[in-house]
């Protein structure tokens, strides 16, 4: 019985063979977990813009790669030395690990664990991958690779959550919700009565709105070029929504006029240089704070007028909403179970895993917020 746990598992996974190719469902082999590793059976995984960025090159990845990073699963087996999870535990794989010993993990002010993989390393700590397909190694994506029936992660990249949590909802704590909510609460530190503007009304932007509302913002202005996003943005707390295409002047000027020049906080949840600068220009020239949440396109430089920060604005960014994942995620899920958050407006579609292509098509046509794939 014990030996059964340590067999290679053959299963279905969505493999990206190279840039600008679609995710292709293949049979892959998933090796057993080595020491301090955990093999997880994935139950549900959301589709995030970052998974699409791996296909365009905006997010670095080592090909061939199994994408996906926002999921819930059950621990299938554990390697030697693993103590924080056991087979049968309901878990969330962690895009941002918490190893507990690096400089960031030891600092109370950082969640940027050195084990994070945002550069497309694609391998676990021993320098190898646990996946093969057609005799070739297939690489890991952001320590997680959740577009697979089974995945292997390091113990620092997985956390146990409430066994009763519904997998097809709480997978959003694996990225969108935690990222957006934390950007407002932890990074922006939105204050009661303040005015906020959120650029980009996808799963991350809507989660920022939920955070701004929870922090007591008096006005939350959603900004998106796709007006089909406005209804759900308002449902989660946006007080107004505007479309830059409806104006000839820069949206920073529009926001200034709408608010008597008093936007305290802006958030960029799109991932374009020009909107990052526009969001910066949109917060108050002195006391304003602007948070970069969207993935900056890889290998590119941004130019901006330094006067924008010289006058006193604060410009910051965050990965995964600043949460220390192993400590904080179980508490966020517990808050969800206590009905503190409602994720229903964020999830527009639930599809079986083999419909992954439809999920990406809807994301790229602007028809979905979050599509959750179930196994």
Smallest distance from the beta carbon of 323 to ligand CND, in angstroms? 10
Which contacts qualify for 359-364: CB closer than 8 Å, 24 or more apart?
359/47, 360/22, 360/23, 360/47, 360/51, 360/52, 360/55, 363/47, 363/49, 363/52, 364/52
Q: Which does 113 bind (CB under 5 to 8 A by kind): Zn ion, ligand CND, none?
A: Zn ion
Which partner from the list Zn ion, ligand CND, none does 322 bind, CB cut-off 5 to 8 Å by kind?
A: none
Residue 105 binds Zn ion (CB under 5 A): yes
**CA–CA separation, 254 and 277 (whole Å):** 15
Closest distance to ligand CND from the beta carbon of 278 (Å): 8
Q: CB 115 → Zn ion: shortest distance, Å?
A: 6
Residue nearest to ligand CND (CB): 202
Min CB(48)–ligand CND separation in Å: 5
CB of 36 to Zn ion, least distance (A): 13
Least distance CB 178 / ligand CND (angstroms): 8
Q: Are 340 and 334 in contact (CB under 8 A)?
A: no
Would you call the peptide bond into 64 cis, given omega within 30 degrees of 0 as the criterion? yes
- Per the DSSP assignment, residues forming a β-bridge with 77 are 39
Footprint of Zn ion on 309-338 (CB under 5 A): none
Residues 6+ apart with CB under 8 A from 231: none
Cα angle, residue 154 at apex, residues 150 and 160 outer, rounded to 5°: 75
Q: Least distance (Å) from ligand CND to the CB of residue 318?
A: 6
Residue 55 interacts with, from Zn ion, ligand CND, none (CB under 5-8 Å by kind): none
Residue of the chain from 102, 133, 235, 309 that contacts Zn ion (CB under 5 A): 102
Chain-centroid distance, C-alpha 247:
31
* 280 binds Zn ion, rule: CB under 5 A: no
Query: Under DSSP, is residue 220 helix (H, G, I), strand (E, B) or coil?
Result: strand
269 counts as binding Zn ion under rule CB under 5 A:
no
Beta strands in the chain (DSSP E): 9-16, 24-30, 37-46, 65-66, 70-78, 90-93, 131-133, 136-138, 150-154, 158-160, 195-199, 219-223, 240-242, 265-268, 289-292, 314-317, 347-352, 370-374
Question: Which of residues 14, 15, 113, 165 is near Zn ion by CB under 5 A?
Answer: 113
Q: Which is nearer to ligand CND, 166 or 366 (CB)?
A: 366
Among 45, 50, 186, 371, binds Zn ion (CB under 5 A): 50
Query: Nearest approach, Cβ of 262 to Zn ion (angstroms)?
Result: 31
Stretch that binds Zn ion, among 34-42, 86-94, 98-106, 294-302 (CB under 5 A): 98-106
Q: Which is nearer to ligand CND, 86 or 274 (CB)?
A: 274
What are the structure tokens assigned to 258, written together?
């709408």
Q: What residue ranges bind ligand CND (CB under 6 A)?
A: 48-50, 53, 175, 179, 199-205, 223-226, 229, 244, 269-272, 275, 293-295, 318-320, 366
Are 304 and 329 a contacting pair, CB within 8 Å?
Answer: no
Give the residue with the Cβ less far from Zn ion, 155 or 224: 155
Region for 156 from its dihedrals, namely left if φ exceeds 0, alpha if ψ lies in -120 to 50, beta otherwise? alpha
**Ranges within 161-180 binding Zn ion (CB under 5 A):** 175
Please tell me the distance from the alpha carbon of residue 41 to that of residue 284, in angstroms, as a whole number: 47
- Contacts with Zn ion by CB under 5 A lie at 48, 50, 99, 102, 105, 113, 175
């Amino acid at each position: 019985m014990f030996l059964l746990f340590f067999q290679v598992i053959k299963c279905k996974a969505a493999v990206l063979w190279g840039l600008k190719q679609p995710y292709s469902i293949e049979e892959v082999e998933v090796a057993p977990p080595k020491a301090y590793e955990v093999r997880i059976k994935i139950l549900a995984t959301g589709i995030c813009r970052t998974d699409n960025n791996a296909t365009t090159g905006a997010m670095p990845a080592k090909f061939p790669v199994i994408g996906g990073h926002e999921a819930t699963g059950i621990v299938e087996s554990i390697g030697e030395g693993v103590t924080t999870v056991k087979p049968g535990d309901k878990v969330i794989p962690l895009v941002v690990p918490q190893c507990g010993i690096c400089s960031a993990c030891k600092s109370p002010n950082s969640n940027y664990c050195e084990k994070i993989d945002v550069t497309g390393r694609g391998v676990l700590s021993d320098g190898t991958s646990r996946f093969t397909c057609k005799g070739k190694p297939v690489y890991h994506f952001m320590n997680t690779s959740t577009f697979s029936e089974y995945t292997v992660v390091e113990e620092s990249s997985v956390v146990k959550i409430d066994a009763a949590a519904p997998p097809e909802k709480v997978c959003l704590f694996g990225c969108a919700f935690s990222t957006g909510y934390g950007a407002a609460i932890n990074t922006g530190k939105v204050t009661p009565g303040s005015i906020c503007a959120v650029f980009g009304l996808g799963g991350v932007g809507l989660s920022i709105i939920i955070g701004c509302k929870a922090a007591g913002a008096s006005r939350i202005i959603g900004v998106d070029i796709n007006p089909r996003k406005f209804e759900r943005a308002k449902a989660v707390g946006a007080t107004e929504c505007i479309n830059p295409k409806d104006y000839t002047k820069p949206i920073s000027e529009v926001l200034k006029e709408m608010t008597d020049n008093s936007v305290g906080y802006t958030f960029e949840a799109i991932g374009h240089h020009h909107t990052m600068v526009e969001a910066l220009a949109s917060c108050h020239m002195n006391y304003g704070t602007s948070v970069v949440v969207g993935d900056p396109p890889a290998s590119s430089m941004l130019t901006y007028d330094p006067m924008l920060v010289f006058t006193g604005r604060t410009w910051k960014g965050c990965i995964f909403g600043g949460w220390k994942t192993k400590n904080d995620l179980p508490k966020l899920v517990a808050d969800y179970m206590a009905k503190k958050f409602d994720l229903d407006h964020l999830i527009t579609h639930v599809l079986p895993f083999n419909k992954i292509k439809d999920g990406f098509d809807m994301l790229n046509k602007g028809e979905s917020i979050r599509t959750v794939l179930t196994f």
